[in-house]
Amino acid sequence: MAKPLALTSGEPAGIGADITLKAWLRRADIKLPAFYWLGDAASLDRRAKALGLAVPVAEVAPEEASEAFARALPVVATGHAATARPGQPDDNSAGTALASIRQAVKDVTAGRASAVVTNPIAKNVLYRTGFRHPGHTEYLAELAATKNSTPQPVMLLWSPALAVVPVTIHVSLREALAQLSSELIASTARIVASGLKSHFGIARPRLAVSGLNPHAGEDGSLGTEEKTIVAPAVELLRSEGLDVRGPLPADTMFHEAARRSYDCAICMYHDQALIPVKTLAFEDAVNVTLGLPFIRTSPDHGTAFDIAGTGKANPSSLIAALQLAARMAAA
């Protein structure tokens, strides 16, 4: 029997519990891979009852989750009670969310789970308790660090319609410009190419690299970063045998015909990558972290405090994240 996926609780006041419950209810219809929820069983049971969902909850050990999955939603306790009400984070929210993430990483590292799938967190809630990472991606890299090295996490947003990677991630636009370098572009592209080969079965990934400025700098008249930063990275990658082209104007990279010409778009900053993928695939895009020593996926949306506990949350992106994690683990 395949090892289950470790699914974190996410922010207790958000929609993580809602979409987890809804996803489990569809397990037979869509052949959902077995997973267990890391968190407080009592809080999940309360949310199920509040939503009027007939979901039995069973507290189990990770090794028992796959067998229990057909009859009940397996929960592996983290020892942190979740007391927050829907839409109302409280003093326990941050500790509960972070404990769930830490335990998921421990479980997959120890071989008790095949991959980590994370429910959404509220970074502003974490920041108030001293959390110093820009987001999930960077925190997972720290958890995966060894005495000798810290992995470079790469955020891939994947959907059947489009796959994109931002070179700079959760930083301001000003900071993104300061961080951008040929070395960062090249190392990011290498990790993407390796991940597409090993986890997605693409023998020779085709990467399209965007420019930074409008019209990719218009031959230097709208900025020189394409000539001084992006193009040297592309040339280096080509010399290493990778199928890479660019810098390309970002405004013409995402129409249907253009998308057929590459497997992944490498973009220079967060919104340059995420706006097109969220426009094309808002409900089924998946956030994948490449460059880690384990598989991690996540729904590509936030905590949605405004609809938490109302029954309106759509589990499509979580379902896609669970299915993709299982596919990557099998590969």
Token duo for residue 15: 């929609």
Region for residue 31 given its phi and psi (left: phi exceeds 0; alpha: psi -120 to 50; beta: otherwise): left
Structure tokens at 300: 């590509």
Distances 44 to 5, 67, 202 between C-alpha atoms, Å: 18, 20, 39
**5: nearest Cα among 37, 42, 43:** 37
Q: Which segments are annotated as binding site?
A: 136-137, 170, 215, 270, 278, 287, 296
Dihedral pair phi/psi, residue 21, rounded to 5°: -60, -45
Q: Which residues carry a binding-site annotation for substrate? A: 136-137, 278, 287, 296
**Binding-site residue ranges for a divalent metal cation:** 170, 215, 270
Q: Tell me phi and psi for residue 208, to 5 degrees.
A: -110, 120
Identify whether the C-beta of residue 166 lies closer than 8 Å to the C-beta of residue 155. yes
DSSP assignment of 99-136 equals HHHHHHHHHHHTTS-S-EE-----HHHHHTTT--SSSH
